[in-house]
């Protein structure tokens, strides 16, 4: 992601407490087992996500009325139980739930704030056993809202001049569909969006179909590769769209607000070249499609690496395009295990900017490193240990994160070996989750070096180390 200031924003998220009474009397049925956990105890958002199951697929059917600010949705969630479940939880902020079924049988639904408790009927008890796959359908509607983060920035469902755009990092995806909204639970998606003509609805993955009937158009998008919920997006508006295929066979889809079209054209034309260059640095592109969504200036305040096609808050420059496309490897394919690992996303994406500047603008990486090193803002805290959720998008996560990557490169002391190391990292954790500990262990194993001093000084240290240390 990228912000007007060095970076993004973050919302402090208090643990969501659910009274035991919600799981007791008043619910019909009575499935054996225990309830799935409320929250996954993320270091910064302990109530985010849910335990007891792993989502395999989301099928979302959305009917959007931008003029009224209204959304009607049906979420079909296919998941595998990781324990015997008597009940389980879904994250959903706002919106009214009309009802739910599990395996086609009506289920009891209770709500406490942003947490739904689903208690299945006893008739489907066997489908809730550990290792079994079950399907939940939730029907909901209402006026989806923006979520204000701790630093004052907005995510969730954002109204735009001619529609809306959904931005989900770190918790905003729960504003428009129910689910397990922690980055550690990735899934495939099919998203259908129906909007009034002449508006266009854009989402992740590949456009499967579009059909217009009675003045409304239904768009169907499919994301076959696993995706964290915070990377899911929907953009509704008057877009100029373009489809093509790169020489490497990657399907491109761009959607640009007409007010941003002229100023975006030259930069967006560089997407194939940036993807090819990035693949040479980081390994094969991890998805079947790519592209961009460009809103008009003022519709949103920051860019976000939504999977397959990043969202830009107006015409991007080349550096921002490079940054967000690098996230397709770092963040979208290799996704952080918890939000404490976000520096792995932003450090590598920032380092991609440095590499591009060296290869195309004559700015040596060492010069970019020195500039970041001399910036006091990058030393406010260690990149692997932001003090609070509101700090997750602060300069150390980006600038000092990139410095960590460069110090690894210096430790390897061989560019061919370094980029092989990076390509091996994106291959090993392709479409998976990885933590800071995973990264440090991987680097040490591959280089056969003890890099404790590097990690202590650059990744975890609180003071600025000697630059030649």
Its pTM stands at: 0.93
Q: Please choose, from the candidates 16, 33, 227, 42, the residue with its C-alpha nearest in 3D space to the C-alpha of residue 116.
A: 16
Q: Which residue, 233, 271, 235, 232, is CA-closest to 256?
A: 235
Tell me how far the alpha carbon of residue 390 is from its chain's centroid: 17
Q: Which of 259, 352, 334 is nearest to 297 (CA)?
A: 259
Per-residue model confidence as pLDDT tens for the chain (469 residues): 875 444 443 333 333 333 333 333 334 445 678 999 999 999 999 999 999 999 999 999 999 999 999 999 999 999 999 999 999 999 999 999 999 999 999 999 999 999 999 999 999 999 999 999 999 999 999 999 999 987 788 999 999 999 999 999 999 999 999 999 999 999 999 999 999 999 999 999 999 999 999 999 999 999 999 999 999 999 999 999 999 999 999 999 999 999 999 999 999 999 999 999 999 999 999 999 999 999 999 999 999 999 999 999 999 999 999 999 999 999 999 999 999 999 999 999 999 999 999 999 999 999 999 999 999 999 999 999 999 999 999 999 999 999 999 999 999 999 999 999 999 999 999 999 999 999 999 999 999 999 999 999 999 999 999 887 4
Contact 218, 181 (CB under 8 A): no
Question: What length is written for the chain?
Answer: 469
Who's near 402: CB < 8 A, 6+ residues apart?
Answer: 347, 348, 350, 351, 353, 354, 368, 369, 372
Backbone angles phi, psi at 138, to 5 degrees: -120, 130
Residue 141: C-alpha distances to residues 106, 167, 196, 197, 350 (Å): 18, 19, 17, 21, 39
What are the phi and psi torsion angles at 127 (to 5°)?
Answer: -75, -15
CA gyration radius, the chain? 22
Pairing of strands 154-159, 164-167: antiparallel
Say how far apart CA 46 and CA 43 lie, in whole Å: 6
Separation between Cα atoms, residue 35 and residue 26, nearest integer Å: 16
CA angle, corner 222, sides to 175 and 36, nearest 5? 50
Contact 275, 257 (CB under 8 A): no
Distance CA 26, CA 32 (A): 16
Q: How far apart are CA 388 and CA 183, in angstroms?
A: 18
Residue 138 and residue 179 in contact, taking contact as beta carbons nearer than 8 Å: no
Asked if 351 and 404 touch (Cβ cutoff 8 Å), the reply is no
- CA–CA separation, 5 vs 397, rounded Å? 13
**How far is residue 79's CA from residue 48's CA, in Å, rounded to a whole number?**
17
Distance between CA atoms of residues 415 and 450, nearest Å: 19
């Amino acid at each position: 992601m990228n912000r007007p200031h060095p970076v993004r924003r973050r919302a402090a998220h208090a643990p969501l407490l659910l009274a035991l009474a919600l799981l007791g009397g008043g619910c019909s049925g009575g499935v054996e087992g225990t309830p799935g956990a409320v929250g996954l105890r993320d270091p910064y958002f302990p109530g985010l996500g849910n335990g007891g199951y792993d989502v395999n697929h989301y099928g979302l059917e959305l009917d959007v009325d931008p003029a009224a600010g209204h959304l009607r949705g049906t979420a079909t969630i296919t998941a595998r139980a990781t324990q015997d479940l008597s009940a389980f939880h879904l994250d959903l902020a706002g919106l009214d739930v009309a009802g739910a079924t599990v395996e086609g049988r009506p289920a009891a639904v209770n709500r406490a704030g942003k947490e739904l408790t689903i208690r299945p009927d006893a008739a489907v008890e066997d489908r809730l056993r550990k290792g079994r796959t079950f399907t939940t359908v939730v029907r909901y509607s209402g006026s989806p809202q923006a979520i204000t983060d701790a630093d004052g920035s907005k995510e969730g469902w954002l109204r735009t001049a001619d529609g809306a755009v959904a931005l989900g990092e770190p918790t905003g995806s729960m504003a428009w569909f129910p689910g397990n909204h922690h980055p550690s639970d990735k899934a495939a998606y099919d998203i259908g969006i129906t909007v009034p003509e002449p508006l266009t609805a854009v989402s992740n993955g590949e456009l499967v179909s579009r059909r217009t009937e009675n003045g409304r158009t239904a768009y169907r998008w499919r994301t076959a590769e696993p995706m964290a919920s915070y990377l899911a997006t929907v953009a509704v508006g008057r877009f100029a769209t373009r489809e093509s295929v790169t020489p490497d066979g990657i399907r491109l889809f761009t959607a640009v607000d007409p007010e941003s079209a002229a100023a975006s054209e030259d930069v967006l034309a560089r997407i194939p070249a940036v993807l090819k260059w990035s693949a040479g640095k980081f390994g094969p592109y991890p998805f079947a499609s790519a592209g961009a969504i460009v809103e008009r200036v003022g519709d949103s305040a920051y860019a976000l690496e939504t999977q397959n096609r990043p969202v830009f808050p107006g015409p991007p420059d080349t550096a921002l395009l490079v940054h967000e496309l690098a996230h397709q490897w770092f963040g979208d394919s290799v996704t952080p295990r918890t939000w404490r690992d976000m520096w792995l996303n932003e450090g590598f994406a920032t380092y991609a900017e440095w590499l591009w500047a060296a290869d195309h603008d004559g700015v040596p990486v060492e010069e970019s490193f020195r500039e970041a090193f001399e910036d006091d803002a990058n030393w406010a805290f260690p990149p692997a240990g932001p003090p609070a959720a509101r700090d997750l998008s602060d300069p150390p996560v980006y600038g000092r994160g990139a410095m960590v990557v460069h110090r690894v490169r210096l430790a390897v002391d061989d560019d061919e070996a370094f980029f092989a190391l990076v390509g091996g990292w994106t291959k090993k954790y392709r479409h998976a989750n990885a933590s800071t500990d995973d990264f440090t262990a991987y680097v040490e194993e591959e280089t056969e070096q003890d890099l404790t001093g590097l990690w202590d000084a650059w990744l975890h240290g609180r003071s600025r180390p000697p630059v030649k240390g």
